[in-house]
Amino acid sequence: MITVGLLGCGNIGRVIAAGQENFKITAVYDVVPARVEAFGKEFDAKPFSDFTAFLAEPTDIIVEAASVLAATEHAQEVLEAGKDIVIMSVGALADIEYRSRLIETARQLKRKIHIPSGAIMGLDNISIGQISRIDKFVLRTTKNPASLAREATERTQLFSGKAHDCVRQYPKNTNVAESLSIACGRDVDVELWMDPNEDRNMHEIFFEGEFGEAYIRVRNLPSPDNPATSYLAALSILTLLKNLDNPLVIGA
């Protein structure tokens, strides 16, 4: 049984906790004491509001399901504590220097940094861009204006450019772009649109190269109790955890 330390007791954390099967969340951390206490009691996990004490608890892997800020602040500590980490808030790795430092720490300590598929599909084959010529690599994300805290009466483009620039301008909409860029080994070209007629978060990937061409479209339903989070993103972490100890590895 794999033991998990959960960093973040929000909606994604609840989806993961509700899906425990061949893994057990034994420790949980959150900056809000009342929230972590309630979460720990509900899911029979030891609650912590002190991160050092949380890390000292014997767990096999830490799952970050909180925020880009939380991932940035704590991922290095997790690796240095001799534990693998799952990073949900992949936008934290947009800082190339920070990412390189994390990877080097993991390499030296023989630890793993896991990036779940998140709100999209196809990351496994997108990684062929690391070894093969890619001619076109575009992510087109379309959201309802309300999810972007904006108003619009017609379809409107908010951004067009490279992923690293999108990270700076729209930090809350970077996880998919950053996951794709890391997988491929090159910055994806990003288009961010808002459309009052779109009731879901939609991601379209256009991928062409010497292998041929691919088009992927994902229209995500919101996660239960949190319309700002994709349910697929939460499920992707759950799937990753369920397969950590599976000797049959698919798509990697």
Whether the predicted model's global pTM rises above the 0.85 cut: yes
With respect to residue 226, please indicate whether it lies within any of the assigned structural domains: no
- Name, of 17-31, 211-225, 227-241, the range with top average pLDDT: 17-31
With respect to residue 45, please indicate whether it lies within any of the assigned structural domains: yes
- Alpha helices (H) along 131-230: 163-169, 175-184
Count of structural domains, the chain: 2
Is residue 114 part of the annotated active site? The answer reads no
- Residues 106, 44, single domain; the answer is yes
Rounded mean pLDDT, 164-177:
83
Which is nearest to 63 in space by CA: 104, 13, 138? 13
With respect to residue 60, please indicate whether it lies within any of the assigned structural domains: yes
In the prediction, which pLDDT does 227 show?
67
The average confidence (pLDDT) of the chain is 93
What single-letter DSSP state applies at residue 82? Answer: T
- Residues 106, 31, single domain; the answer is yes
Question: Catalytic one among 74, 114, 164, 203?
Answer: 203
d(CA 252, CA 232): 19
Strand partners, 93: none
- Residues 76, 163, single domain; the answer is no
Residue-wise pLDDT tens digits, 87-134: 999 999 988 999 999 999 999 999 999 999 999 999 999 999 999 999
- Residues 67, 171, single domain; the answer is no
Helices (H) and strands (E) in the chain, counts: 9, 13
In the prediction, which pLDDT does 112 show?
97
With respect to residue 67, please indicate whether it lies within any of the assigned structural domains: yes
Which is nearest to 11 in space by CA: 236, 239, 228, 240? 228
d(CA 212, CA 200): 29
- Residues 109, 155, single domain; the answer is no
- Which domain CATH number covers 70? 3.40.50.720
In the prediction, which pLDDT does 148 show?
84
- Which domain CATH number covers 154? 3.30.360.10
175 is in an annotated binding site: yes
Domain assignment of residue 168, given as a range: 123-220
> Is a pLDDT exceeding 80 seen at residue 228?
no
- Whether residue 139 contacts residue 190, with contact meaning beta carbons closer than 8 Å, is answered with yes
Which one-letter amino acid corresponds to residue 221?
A: L
- Residues 110, 141, single domain; the answer is no
119 is in an annotated binding site: yes
- Residues 45, 128, single domain; the answer is no
- Residues 237, 213, single domain; the answer is no
With respect to residue 247, please indicate whether it lies within any of the assigned structural domains: no
> Is a pLDDT exceeding 80 seen at residue 172?
no
Tell me what percent of the residues of the chain surpass a pLDDT of 90. 83
d(CA 72, CA 180): 19
With respect to residue 252, please indicate whether it lies within any of the assigned structural domains: no
With respect to residue 228, please indicate whether it lies within any of the assigned structural domains: no
- Residues 101, 12, single domain; the answer is yes
d(CA 112, CA 23): 17
Rounded mean pLDDT, 143-153:
89
> Is a pLDDT exceeding 70 seen at residue 252?
no
- Whether residue 134 contacts residue 184, with contact meaning beta carbons closer than 8 Å, is answered with yes
- Residues 134, 213, single domain; the answer is yes
Work out the angle between the directed axes of helices 11-18 and 33-43 (0-180°, nearest 10).
10
Residue-wise pLDDT tens digits, 62-79: 999 999 999 999 999 999
- Residues 143, 198, single domain; the answer is yes
With respect to residue 98, please indicate whether it lies within any of the assigned structural domains: yes
